Amino acid sequence: MDRTKLFLEESALISLDVKQFTFFSFPPWSVPSINYIDPFSLLHKASTAPVVFYQVFNLHRSLYSQYVPVFTDGSKSINYVGCSVAFPDSVSAYRLNAALSIYTAPQGHIFSRCDGIHDPEVP
């Protein structure tokens, strides 16, 4: 737990509250399979018209309209890692430590906002 807090401080993510959960009851060497919906997996960008991607995206959003959409993006340069996270009610952008990955950078903000999806008082 202390290592996690130290990592967050060094990564300029000190506003995150570290919470300890035990819902991952599996050992780290036995990671379970995670199923997710990927409506774009069979479409190839080079051979698919852009309008098809828009149609699939809109269909996907209409089928799962009861869920809160979250969009993330990350970028990395020599000196920093940047990430942005867009929720329906807010957009946040961060400049983080260069040691972070563009894949892990948005996860910190998404985690901090997960409570906000259920609690409208959280900014």
Summarize pLDDT for 85-99 with one digit per residue, the tens. Answer: 888 888 888 787 777
Per-domain residue ranges of the chain: 2-29+37-115
User: Mean pLDDT across the stretch 34-48?
Assistant: 86
Structure confidence at residue 70 (pLDDT): 81
Q: Is the pLDDT of residue 122 over 50?
A: no
What's the per-residue H, E or C state across 74-115? EEECCCCEEEEEEECCEEEEEEECCCCCCCCHHHHHHHHHHH
Q: What are the angstrom distances between the C-alpha of 66 and each of 23, 113, 116, 117?
A: 24, 17, 16, 12
Summarize pLDDT for 103-115 with one digit per residue, the tens. Answer: 776 676 666 666 5
